[in-house]
Amino acid sequence: MPLFRADQRTAGILLLTALTVLAIASLSCGGSAIPDGPFSAQVVRVVDGDTIIVNYQGSTERVRYIGVDTPESVKPNTPVQCYAKAASHLNETLVAGHRVTLTPGAEPRDRYGRLLAYVKTERGLDVNAALLSAGAARTMSISPNTEKAIEYADLEAKARNKQAGLWGLCADAQNLGGPLVPSTG
């Protein structure tokens, strides 16, 4: 009979140890895992035109919008580019302090650890698309996150044809890799 009690005690210790290891592992991962599909999060800060910080289940996540690239306003060792402040302001107007729905890309993180996602407002507005339509962003298609590449390219072309936003104000808007500078004419 004492052997049975020892086996129960050993099993209890093993169970307690396993639960402790799982608890520590979940804490070290920064809280909740990010779902594969769409999920809701609270925007706590707008970093710039294409990056936000959200709160999801008590943890903060830096989110980089998929498919768009706005002019740089906070990149270290990079001057503020033409239309950067306007792009950031538009992003703030659309999402600051609101809940958004994030849909992670096929490749959910970039090399900086940011969550890569399509972003929608509570009313269903595709924020990535809105930035392109307003001329506040250029398309940036990086495989495998190309689900909306054709749609986004069409929106950029329409904004460019209308000379909306940066397309009408920034001389180097066509030069996708270069700095954006104000037009002189």
Q: What is the pLDDT of residues 29-71, one digit of tens each?
A: 344 589 989 999 999 999 999 999 999 999 999 999 999 999 9
Looking at the structure of the chain, the number of domains it has is 1
Residue 23 in any domain: the answer is no
Residue 130 in any domain: the answer is yes
Question: From the CB of residue 146, how many other CB atoms can be counted at a distance below 10 Å?
Answer: 14
Residue 1 in any domain: the answer is no
**Set 45, 61, 72, 107: catalytic member:** 72
Residue 9 in any domain: the answer is no
Question: Is 72 a residue of the active site?
Answer: yes
Residue 52 in any domain: the answer is yes
**Set 45, 111, 114, 147: catalytic member:** 114
Tell me the C-alpha distance between 43 and 54, whole Å. 4
DSSP codes of every residue in 61-107: EEEEETEEEPPPSS-TT-PPPTTHHHHHHHHHHHHTTSEEEEEEEEE
Residue 58 in any domain: the answer is yes
Which helix (H) or strand (E) segment holds residue 52: the answer is strand 51-56
The CATH number that applies at residue 118 is 2.40.50.90
What is the predicted pLDDT for the residue at 12? 60
Question: Is 64 a residue of the active site?
Answer: yes
- What's the rounded mean pLDDT across residues 96-111? 97
Q: Token pair 């999060």 is at which residue? A: 41
Residue 183 in any domain: the answer is no
Residue 180 in any domain: the answer is no
Containing structural domain, residue 120: 39-169
What is the predicted pLDDT for the residue at 30? 40
What is the predicted pLDDT for the residue at 26? 40
Tell me the C-alpha distance between 54 and 96, whole Å. 10
Task: pLDDT band for 1, please (50, 70, 90 cuts).
Answer: low
**Set 5, 9, 62, 64: catalytic member:** 64
Question: Is 92 a residue of the active site?
Answer: no
- What's the rounded mean pLDDT across residues 111-115? 96
Question: Which pLDDT tens digit goes with each residue over 12-25?
Answer: 666 555 554 444 44
Question: Which pLDDT tens digit goes with each residue over 140-185?
Answer: 999 999 999 999 999 999 999 999 999 999 977 765 454 444 444 4
What is the predicted pLDDT for the residue at 171? 77
What is the predicted pLDDT for the residue at 14? 62
